[in-house]
Structure 1
């Protein structure tokens, strides 16, 4: 029993482990060894684990926000949209977009909460102990992303087709150009999805993923920007013509233009955030933003459509209106008249204030025993004319005392 482990198993009793120096020791860069089932090891640092967990939290929050927004928009669409408009292709594809956003978000949330997102499975790509249901859910989430990509492109094609319906020659050229760009982006997205699904338990090639992911994200964002830019240009021309006809206020065309500009800007920003700022999960917001903004724009346009309709009274009012130059001159003349009235009112107020100050000064001079200037001028100018002291006193007592009974008359009455 006293035999040592070296004699029995061929291993020493004690193992010498290297102790890192306390000088310049960084626990975040401290290597952590992991052992594969075949005996080989894999080393990573604590900083890599922290970065992976932070990326998981950020991405899961993004998908959670997408689920909540899609549920709210879907409920509003089902409650507000008229029965006749529910049979249109645009409404059907908008519903599919929202459903795919919800299902994809739920599957990705389950992925981040499941065993596939564990530290060992993520860093070693060893999925021997992972249930098949978790692997299948991950594959279905990639399929949902692909379906969302396809339905989003179809919805954008329908938008462009509707806004160019009155110009068939330009419609086919624009649809051909935009459709080709969308087809290239969709094909690249499908190729990347097939490559990821075929990997299963094998790690991807860094030489492929280094350029494949940014390229696919850029193609998807570029296709959305092209569709939205074409749509916005057409809506801008329509709004300009509408303003020329005399319509004012926010109508259905203005609401569609605002939503189109949002679809034009947001995907590009999310693509930049994903590829250059390294915000994980931001690229998924490019398709989700389009899926959310398209039904919102339709609801907004339908809600303000009644305020932009032409009526007989409005047509007559537009006919009575003169050219723009005359209307501008009349408006300037009316504004100048208003300003002159304001200045007149200010002048009257200043004049009344000056008169009130003069009256107060005259009353102060009588109380001090001084002769008012008008009486003094009258005495010097016409000395032959007798002036009764009682009359002068009676006249200026009214100035001092203001309106009311004459106190001197009351005094004479009491004397009588």
Structure 2
């Protein structure tokens, strides 16, 4: 087999190592386009310039471009259709991608086929002084949740319990939403968008009825029009806050609930027309009411889940993205990994702000990985860094480290993490909150 050239937007060493372990990787040449720091370590996305520079890099390549892929949310996910169309590689249409990523448009198309499984919602302009009235006129009352039409991670998402909460959240949105709205509007300008959606651009926000329960993510793909969910990962949060504690695979949800989520996923993705790419859909199961809610759709695999699939199934589900980009049905094994269960844990502090004065050194991290086989630890901060300068954080805490672990059971996994976390030593000065 000839070597196939696969360009990865924002390729870093961490992902290069994972990709090298995929099935058939000996026949792939993975090449980077756009420096990792431009998509991982910043909240400023000059997307028009990034697309132009990526296009220049690809055009200068002296060889055949077999695929262009990425594993990040905005801006990478929205750049891919533009680059793939230009260089004639496989990609879903920009419009089908935006039906997932534009939160208002996505709710509109979801309502057409699975309306009983989505919350009440409305769009509003955060710069409108009467926005709270607009939300009330849509039938939404305290408490409700607000977030930008296009966001990244949990950034600028807020639970609103009172007018005071709304005022405080709006102040942050007005200050920061432009970081996303301007580049996202550039993408919208490249697509054929209905007038109803065009009027709700990246500067708008969503208000939604509060939904909750047991949160999970259905990972799946579409190949030649056939929707294939292949794994469900549970998302566990810290008590009484919105911050994630752990992703756990496989899911511990009841089998009938998992089956229904896969059915809903198939229905909505087929309706959207998304094709020949990976995706994931986030759900809640309200156990008390026995009700399923669709939270949101993402147009890529979750990077956070890569090691979980590798530990449990035997290969990272980056396999899915690469196979689809090369025009093949994905070749994912099932339960062929080293561990029956796996988790990604988020080691957090719940300060308003602080300066990091010390982090665990390499020797301490290596000792932890030796004591807990299969463990990987990725620090998210360095000495001297102010926590408020960390990118891609939620509105309630700061993630200082990501820890991937495998175990023989869920109980063992949780106990191992507890023991490991007790030995992670960070130090801070100028602590607020």
- TM-score, normalised on structure 1? 0.18
Q: Which has the higher contact order (CA 8 A, sep 6+)?
A: 2
Larger radius of gyration between Structure 1 and Structure 2: 1
Please, what TM-score do these two structures have when normalized by structure 2?
0.17
The answer to which structure has the higher helix fraction is: 1
